[in-house]
Chain A
Amino acid sequence: MAAITTTPGAHHDDADPNASFLEKKGLMSWLVTLDHKRIGIMYLISVTIAFLLGGIFALLVRAELFTRGQTLFDADTYNKMFSLHGVVMVFLFIIPSIPAGLGNIMLPVQLGTKDVAFPRLNLLSLYIYWFGAVFGLYSMINGGVDTGWTFYTPYASSDPAHGGVGSATSVIPMTLAAFIMGFSSILTGVNFIATVHKMRAPGLTWRRLTLFTWALYATSIIQILATPVLAITLLLLTMERFLGLGIFDPRLGGDPVLYQHFFWFYSHPAVYIMIVPGMGVVSDILATFSRREPVGYMAIAASSLGLALLGFLVWGHHLFVAGMSEWATMVFSALTFLVAIPSGVKVFNWVATLYKGSISLQSPMLWALSFVFLFTIGGLTGLFLGMLAVDVHLHDTYFVVAHFHYVMVGGTVMGFVGGLHYWWPKFTGKMYEEGLARIGWFLVFIGFNVTFIAQFIMGSRGMPRRYYDYLPQYEIFHQVSTIGSWILGLGFLVLLVMFIRSLMNGKPAPRNPWGSAALEWLTPTPPPTFNFVKDPVLTRGQYDYQLATDDELYEGFDDPLFPGLRGGKAPAKKAAAEGDHG
């Protein structure tokens, strides 16, 4: 019995349907493409530029804090730098990074389908993202914003030009940028949900989805439900600042704490928009490089959905010292702790997946293991902040800054860069230099920990965040942290050089360089425009390493589990071995 049956692909293109999706050249072939992989690559390029820009802001912030008093620039410039770092990293980089970048490229391939459900909507979401980015750039050219990425009222909504007490910077274009980019996020979410529900290849049941697909599915639900709240909030903020409508500013009869409720009702779920896709990437990498089905597959999938749900119930923990009632504070603290359960379940299952695996420490695996370690620290320091008494001391200090960087960078960025390493050969068709990749990983890992461990300590010693200047007792911690940021920056520079060198003269990548059992590795590298030469039909799961022969487990999978996908014939020995199981 064959493990897979094939049906003829339905192509209505004049060109060779089996040619690589990268074959067409020219700018227009990219700008009007409906191919999810090309759209994903354009997203990847965009978010990488945003990441470099946000990274430069971060390095400037750290450099300014290297000495007390003025080091490079004045207080107003510093305030703009940390605000722009936050805005660019959150809205332009981290939210679209994994879902719209890597997700766009890999989701339809992992589902065994030709494209997402709505390819034109997919392209539209990219243009909306760019349109939002133009507003962001316009704000930056006009002096940027100094409100922090949170735009707290009345500081952000009360314009001194109209007699207000707040920020005089270019706030409206920046909030509109975030407002517009929200629609891009919603459209991607709608698209992914429809694709997962309706476009799975025959035989690809819900229990056979990859954990990356599950994570993207959970993320899409949050994107659709939470993002409209941010849109409404930012619109109200803009109306208050521009038209003097009194909603948040007490001088106009508003309530500034109301803004914080609205803002975090989106922005806390947004934390899970950021981290859950990273968890998905890591689950896939750990399985591939351990040659083992993830332990607790359903538990990991369910915990992604659990996080998506719980994410909506805990926004109040951002307001523990803002003046909520003791009763509300208690309820939000209790709910916040619940987040620890699905997070813990994931960590335990990841570690258990390694047990009795066949582990290879290639570069994607290094990033995935770093994710597990750093996310554990990020998650546990979250418990410090969930404990009410401790939060009163740590709130708005560098401890919080270090905590969310362990989740956002130690989590999401490790997942993103790991995923980039993992799928890079598939969608570019090129390998990269493993040596450079390891040097880059090492520098990033060390630099990251030096930067942020110093921030944990100064935070618990009382150093408040968003400070241009500081008291002498914090100087040593700031200096260590700044030196760490240089190592971190150097690490990312090495990775940038490595990826560019790979694009220019990387060796051609084989079809399945990591020997994975997942569907995306069984189509040619790079995939044809419609992803598969013939429409796949699945008769086994994507983590079924137990079906492989001894050779395959060491050498990596080749065709035999999916004979005929490349039109080749399976060797008799392997077909027989597989027949035993199939």
Chain B
Amino acid sequence: MLLFQPVESDSFQLPPSMADTAPPIDKAYDFIFWFSVVFTVAVTAALLYFVAKYKRKPGVKPEPTGHFMKLELFWTITPTIFIFFLFHAGFTGYIRNATAAEGATEIRVRGKKWSWEFEYPTGDREPGELTLELGRPYKMILSSEDVIHSFFIPEFRMKRDAVPGQYSFIQFTPTKAGDAHVFCAEYCGTSHSGMIATVKILPPAEYKEWEKKLGGCSGTPEECEPAKWGERLFVKNGCTTCHGAGGSGEISGSKTVGPKLAGVFGHEVQTTAGVVQADENYLRESILRPNAKIVAGYATVQMPPFVMKDAQLDAVIAYLKSLK
């Protein structure tokens, strides 16, 4: 089992290794990398040497090509032996990482355009941020609410598609405290590249502290004023990818796929269901059932529904009200 001990392997080619799944993959990667280097150097050296040595000279004839059955067999059979080793190295690492540890903590991961949401065993849902305990085995149960997404943490060397209509699984045990990222690796539309969540790996003591505050607001009382907390939830839920920073309705000068939210409260809004007064209930409905009333001109992209605790909803609505 020495093989799969956590090792520090932040090389030029690979990101830092932060889970038990990384070392077997890095080992296979190093093997094929050096195999390829040797092979490429050999082929290129032979190529360049022959080109230099057998450059056309007057009076020098090329050797007529003969039949080299033994040579042909040699370079057919030798690579065949090599690929058995390569297949084996790749397969054992893959199967090892495909097997979840006994009693792994299950976290539900939902991908939607364009954010990640994580549901912990307590039932609490956290968008945009995955908090993990160092050394605890995890099993992620992935699903998608719209199109195909793919859950990818480079530091864990793990990736799995989240396919609508079915569950898929990924498992790992974090081996190093620190921050990493979840990328969406399957193209999913406009803000595919914005579908990034942070991964926080905490030592057990810090993790216990964090768990206590799960679902509520963490921070100083000032930071937990409803509008302030709401602003953080707004960012973490990925609202800015479609509504712009501060609900401005634009990103670097171009119109976002979702309507502008700043200053909407208290005004009349033209929607697919007629003119609506933008009050608290309208905002609440638009978060929980976004397609009930769609702002005119924004019907081409559908917003996925968001599930929040009442306290969180109150905070987000307080934030939206504060936007001018």
Contacts and interface: CB of A to CB of B under 8 A. Distances in A.
A and B from one complex: yes
A161 B300 CA distance: 7
A460 B148 CA distance: 22
B113 to A, nearest CB: 7
A348 interface: yes
A580 to B, nearest CB: 14
Contact of B154 (A154, A292, A461, A545): A461
Given A251-B164, A392-B158, A341 B192 contact: no
B163 A372 contact: no
Interface in A541-565: 543, 545-546, 550, 553-554
B163 A323 contact: yes
Interface string A290-306: 11111111010000000
A375 to B, nearest CB: 10
A469 B46 contact: no
A147 B188 CA distance: 8
A464 B90 contact: no
A154 B33 CA distance: 36
Contacts of B98: 326
A393 B29 contact: yes
A324 to B, nearest CB: 10
B225 interface: no
A446 B163 CA distance: 40
Contacts of A154: 146-148, 164
Interface in B92-119: 92-98, 113
A470 B163 contact: no
Interface stretch (B56-64, B259-267, B307-315): B56-64
A168 interface: yes
A257 interface: yes
Q: How large is the interface on B (under 10, 10 to 19, 20 to 34, 35 or more residues)?
A: 35 or more
Between A321, A390, A468, A550, the greatest number of chain B beta carbons within 10 A of the residue's beta carbon is seen for A390
A160 B163 contact: no
Nearest to B145: A165
B51 A354 contact: yes
Contacts of B187: 79, 147-148, 152, 155, 465-466
A209 to B, nearest CB: 16
Nearest to A71: B252
B47 interface: yes
Given A74-B252, A467-B193, A359 B186 contact: no
Between A345, A347, A387, A468, the greatest number of chain B beta carbons within 10 A of the residue's beta carbon is seen for A387
Given A79-B192, A466-B187, 14 more contacts: A75-B251, A147-B187, A155-B147, A160-B301, A165-B147, A290-B62, A299-B76, A352-B71, A359-B51, A359-B55, A376-B44, A383-B32, A468-B193, A470-B193
Interface of B: 12-15, 24-25, 28-29, 32-33, 35-36, 39-40, 43-44, 46-47, 50-51, 54-65, 68, 71-72, 75-76, 79-80, 83, 86-87, 89-98, 113, 146-148, 150, 152, 154-155, 157-161, 163-166, 168, 181, 183-194, 196, 251-254, 299-302
Interface of A: 69-70, 74-76, 79, 146-148, 152, 154-155, 158, 160-161, 163, 165-168, 250-251, 255-257, 290-297, 299, 321-323, 326, 329-330, 333-334, 337-338, 340-341, 344-345, 347-349, 351-361, 369, 372-373, 376-377, 380-381, 383-384, 386-393, 395-397, 457, 460-462, 464-471, 543, 545-546, 550, 553-554
